[in-house]
């Protein structure tokens, strides 16, 4: 279950988060929702370490291998003898290797980012379109209806202008 409280500004949203933490709601269940990035620590202090850059690197390595195999493999399979020049010409192979490495690294970045963001996600989650008009959402994950009611109460007392749950969205 997910409860979403809508706040008019960062200050009241931060106050809401403080009140939630004060009532022993674990911080890793609390998330902020906003239409522009909020400086780290102003509402949620949790750090989101990214690992998707390793997917970028892996994409680059796989791409380099694919490019090398394509260009060098082609030369090996369909040899063109030109004077005393080597069959595998390093500069052209290097260029194809580079282009493939960059392409796969780019694809890896996007795929890795989306994977770590857990997108695409089309299941209904607690959300309010008012967030795109500048409101700040504070969303809390909970397990039971009692917890949901408790969290709703805290958010309400903290000045949330509206409270929604994922059940309502569904």
Partner 1 sequence: MPEEEGLKQKNIQEMNEKMLSSIRPPTGKWVFLAVVLGAITGWAAYAWWVQLSTGLVVAGINRPVMWGFYIINFVFWVGLSHSGTMVSGILRLSKANWRRPILRAAEAMTVFAISVAAMFPLIHIGRTWKAYYLIPLPNSMGLWPNFRSPLLWDLTAINTYILGSSLFLFLGMLPDLAVVRDRSVGIKKKIYTVLAMGWRGTDREWSLYGKASTIMAALIVPVAVSVHSIVSWDFAMTLVPGWHSTIFAPYFVSGAMFSGVAAVITLMVILRKAFHLEHHLREEHFDNMGKLLLVISLVWSYLYFAEVLTIWYGHKPIEWEVFIFTADRYSFLLGLMVLGNAFITIPALCFRRVRRSVTVMLFISILVNVCMFTERFLIIVPPLSHRNVPFMWGNYSPSWVELSITAGALAGFALMYTMFAKFFPIVSLTDVREGLEMKKKLKIGRSTVNARIEGE
Interface pattern 77-116 for partner 1 (x via CB under 8 A): xx-x--------x--xx-xx-xxx-xx-xxx-xx--xx-x
Supply the DSSP string of the chain, one letter for each residue: -EEEEEESSHHHHHHHHHHHHHTT--GGGEEEE-SSPPPTTSS--------HHHHHHHHHHHHHHHHHHHHHHHHHHS----TT--SS-HHHHHHHHHHHHHHHHHHHHHHHHHHHHT-S--S--S--GGGGGT-EEEEEE-SSHHHHHHHHHHHHHTT-SEEEEHHHH-
User: Least CB distance from residue 96 to partner 1, whole Å?
Assistant: 6
**CB of 140: closest distance to partner 1 in angstroms?**
12
Minimum CB–partner distance for residue 144 and partner 1 (Å): 23
Q: C-beta of 47: minimal distance to partner 1 in Å?
A: 8
**Nearer of residues 86 and 146 to partner 1, judged by Cβ:** 86
Residues that bind partner 1 (CB under 8 A): 8-9, 31-40, 43-44, 46, 48, 50, 52-53, 56, 67, 70-71, 74-75, 77-78, 80, 89, 92-93, 95-96, 98-100, 102-103, 105-107, 109-110, 113-114, 116-117, 119-123, 125, 127, 129, 131-135, 137, 139
């Amino acid at each position: 279950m997910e409860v979403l409280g809508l706040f008019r500004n960062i200050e009241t949203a931060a106050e809401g988060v403080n009140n939630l933490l004060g009532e022993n709601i674990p911080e890793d269940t609390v998330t902020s929702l906003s239409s522009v990035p909020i400086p780290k620590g102003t509402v949620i202090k949790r750090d989101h370490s990214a690992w998707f850059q390793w997917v970028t690197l892996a994409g680059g390595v796989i791409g380099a291998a694919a490019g090398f195999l394509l260009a060098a493999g082609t030369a090996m399979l369909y040899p063109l003898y030109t004077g005393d020049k080597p069959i595998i010409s390093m500069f052209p192979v290097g260029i194809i290797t580079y282009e493939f490495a960059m392409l796969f690294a780019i694809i890896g970045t996007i795929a890795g980012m989306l994977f770590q963001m857990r997108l695409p996600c089309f299941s209904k989650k607690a959300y309010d379109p008012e967030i795109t008009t500048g409101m700040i959402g504070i969303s809390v994950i909970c397990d039971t209806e009692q917890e949901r009611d408790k969290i709703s109460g805290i958010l309400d007392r903290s000045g949330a202008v509206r409270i929604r749950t994922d059940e309502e969205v569904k």
